[in-house]
Amino acid sequence: MNDQLLWYTTRAAGAVSMIMLTGVVVLGVMSTLRATPRGLPRFFTPALHRNIALVTLVFLALHVVTAVVDPFTSLGWTAAVIPFSSYYRTFWLGLGTIAFELLLAITVTSLLRGLLGHGAWRAIHWLTYAAWPVAIVHGLGTGTDAWSPWLFTLTCLCVGAAAFVVVYRFTAGSTDPLAAQRASFRAGVDRRPDR
Amino acid sequence: MRNPENVQSRISARDRADRLINQLTAGAAIAALGAVGVFGVVGASTIPGATTASTASTTTSTSTSSSSTSSGLQPAGGSVTSSSSSGVVVSGGSH
C-alpha cells in the first residue's frame, strides 16, 4: 500500500476517532443524566452510547493499525501496546497508547458488566474522564494536522461539547427519581435510637 | 392490572427505539467512514508531506553509501557505514 495513503488514513482516522469519542462521552453523560428524547424509552441513550462506543473502537483500531504499519515511522507493535516505548515522539505516542488501552479496558469491562458487578464496572468506567483528555492531548501533541485551522476548530468544538456536558453533569442536581424517598429513608434510619 | 393499550404503546415505543438505535448506529458508521475519506483529502491538500520514496531510490542507487536500508528513505549525505535497518532518517517532510 502507498505510504502516503497510510499516513493520510492515520491522520483522518485519528480526527474521526476524536469526534466519535467526544460523542460517546456526551452520550455517556446524557445517560447518567437520564436525558432521553421525548417519546423514546429510557434505554435509548445508553444503548446508543454503547453502540457508538463500539463503532469508535473500530476507527481507533484503524488509526492505530495504519500508524503501526506505516514504514516511514516504523513504530512496531510494541509501541502500540507498551506506553512510552516508541522511539518516535515517545511522550505523545505514549499518551495515545494509554488512552487506547484505557478505552479498551472500559469497553471490555462494559461488555462483561454482568460478571463484574455494578460497583467495579462503575469504578472502571470513571476512567473515561481520564482517557478522553489524554486522547485529546495526544492529538494536539503529535497530530500532523492538530494546528491546522480545520482540525483545530473541530478539536475546540469537541472540547467545548465535552466540557459543557461534564460541567452540567457535576452541577446539575440528582436525576434519580427516587432521590427524595431515599434521602428521607436514610434520615429516618439515622434518627432511630441506638439499641 | 395494567392497561393493555398502555402495554401495547410501550412495546411499540420500544420497537421504534430499537429501530432508531440501529439506524443511528449504521448512520454514524457510514458518516465516520465518509469523514475518514474527507479528512484524508483535506489533510492531504493542507499538509501533503514529502514524497521521498522515488527520490530516495534513485539517490541510494547512485551514492557511495553502504547502508542496507530498504525503507526507501533518503540516507544522510556522505559515506555512511551504518547498517541500521530501521531507516529513521528525516527527509524534511512533516510526517
Task: Give the pLDDT confidence of A155-175 residue by residue, as tens digits.
Answer: 999 999 999 999 998 888 766
What is the total count of domains within chain B?
1
**What's the CATH code of the domain at A39?**
1.20.120
Count H helices and E strands in chain B, helices first.
2, 0
> Stretch B63-87: mean pLDDT, rounded?
46
Number of domains in chain A: 1
What is the three-class DSSP state of A167? helix
Q: How confident is the model at residue A151 (pLDDT cuts 50, 70, 90)?
A: very high
**pLDDT tens readout for residues B20-60:** 999 999 999 999 999 999 999 999 998 887 654 444 444 44
Q: Look up the domain containing B37 and give its range.
A: 1-44
Which residue among B13, B32, B39 sits closest to A40, beta carbon to beta carbon? B13
pLDDT of residue B74: 47
The yes-or-no verdict on residue A80 having pLDDT over 90 is no
* DSSP state at residue B77: S
Domain membership flag for residue A194: no
**pLDDT of B54:** 42
Question: How does residue B78 score in pLDDT terms, banded at 50, 70 and 90?
Answer: very low
Closest CA–CA distance from residue A50 to any residue of chain B (Å): 10
Distances (CA, A) of A114 to A103, A118, A131: 18, 8, 23
Look at A152 and A172; give whichever has higher pLDDT: A152
pLDDT greater at residue B4 or residue A32 = A32
**What pLDDT shows up at residue A178?**
72
CB contact B19 to A (< 8 Å): no
Query: Has residue A140 been placed in a domain?
Result: yes
**Rounded CA gap, A106 and A112, in Å?**
10
Q: B79 with B66: CB under 8 angstroms?
A: yes
Predicted ipTM? 0.82
Residues from chain B contacting residue A20 (CB–CB below 8 Å): 28, 32
> Measured between beta carbons, which residues in chain A are less than 8 angstroms from residue B95?
7, 72-73, 144
Residue A195 forms part of a structural domain: no
Predicted pLDDT of residue A40: 84
- Residue whose C-alpha is closest to residue A7's, from A54, A74, A55: A74
pLDDT, residue B50, reads 63
Contact B87 A74 (CB under 8 A): yes
Under a CB-based contact definition with an 8 Å cutoff, are residues A25 and A45 in contact? Answer: no
User: Is position A171 within any domain?
Assistant: yes
3-state helix, strand, coil in chain B (%, to 5): 55, 0, 45
Segment of A4-13, A36-45, A113-122, B73-82 carrying the highest mean pLDDT: A4-13
Report which residue type is found at A114: G
27-66 in chain B: CB under 8 A from chain A: 28-29, 32, 35-44, 46-49, 51, 53
- What confidence score (pLDDT) does residue B35 get? 96
Tell me whether residue A167 is in a domain: yes
pLDDT at position A195: 54
Mark yes or no for CB contact A87/B87 under 8 Å.
no
Q: What integer is the mean pLDDT of A83-111?
A: 90
Give the cell for residue A179: 432521590
d(CA B14, CA B8): 10
B16 vs A contacts (CB less than 8 Å): 40
pTM over 0.90: no
pLDDT on residue A169: 87
Do the domain assignments include residue A137?
yes
More confident residue, A186 or A141: A141
- Mean pLDDT for the stretch of residues A44-54: 94
Report yes or no on B63 lying in a domain.
no
Is there a domain that residue B26 lies in?
Answer: yes
Question: How confident is the model at residue A72, as a pLDDT?
Answer: 82
CB atoms closer than 10 angstroms to residue A171? 7
**Is A30 part of a structural domain of the chain?**
yes
Segments forming the whole domain that contains residue A62: 2-189
In a domain, A49, yes or no: yes
**Beta-carbon contacts of residue B88 (< 8 Å; ≥ 6 apart):** A74, A87, A88
Which residues in chain A are contacts of B25 at CB distance < 8 A? 48, 51-52, 55
Report chain A residues whose CB lies below 8 A from the CB of B20. Answer: 40, 44
- Residue A117 DSSP one-character state: -
